[in-house]
Structure 1
């Protein structure tokens, strides 16, 4: 079986097998990572996975999990943020008006 050498910030160099390593390849390359539980101290170690690291790990038998970031998460947002008062006002409005029922009564009923 393939041996993967990695480093733990606490224990130093460690040897792992492919099932001990998790590789996540993201559509945003800066968010790709690999992680493992250190066999010596049991801490989870998570590090950035460049394209080269991802290629080496997959060649070594580590399956890649693919993660697609929704476009909405990458949108640039401008304007003021929602406050807790805004959330409370919205909640109170939902409790005082049955928006779904009102919208449903306006729909034409099938014959």
Structure 2
């Protein structure tokens, strides 16, 4: 059986089986990582996995998981961050947009078309 040696920040070197190691290969190489639960202290240890580490772990029998980061998550954003007030204003706008949409469809909000509200 293959033995994989890894390092726990608390315990030092530990020996693991391929099944004890999780390898996540990301579409953005510098976001790939491997993790394991330390057999000595039980802590979850997570470390970056460059191409050489990925190749070594795969050779040792660790099955990689694929992780694709959506392009939107990698976009840079300029401008100030949204505030709580911005979020509340957006919620109020959605409420109005819902009313406008219902009126455009010829129905009251929450009522099927053709059913009228009693005033």
**Interval containing the TM-score (normalised by the shorter chain):** 0.7 to 0.9
CA displacement at 1:103 relative to structure 2: 8.7
Indicate the SS of the match to 1:23: strand
CA displacement at 1:100 relative to structure 2: 7.7
**Which protein shows a greater Rg?**
2
Give, in whole Å, the separation in 2 of the partners of 1:103 and 1:71: 37
Equivalence map 1:5-24=2 (5 Å): 5-24=5-24
Which residue does 1:109 correspond to in 2? none
Q: Which is worse superposed, 94-103 or 83-92?
A: 94-103
Q: Show structure 1 runs of 5+ residues with no match.
A: 107-111
Q: Which is worse superposed, 80-89 or 92-101?
A: 92-101
Which residue does 2:83 correspond to in 1? 83
**What TM-score comes out, normalization by structure 2 length?**
0.81
- Relative to 1, partners in 2 of residues 1:61 and 1:87: Cα closer, same or farther, differing over 3 Å? same
Q: How many residues align?
A: 106
CA displacement at 1:76 relative to structure 2: 1.3
Deviant stretches of 4+, over 6 Å: none
Give, in whole Å, the separation in 1 of the partners of 2:36 and 2:61: 14
Q: Show structure 2 runs of 5+ residues with no match.
A: 107-119
Indicate the SS of the match to 1:98: helix
Which residue does 1:50 correspond to in 2? 50
CA RMSD, Structure 1 to Structure 2 (Å): 1.9
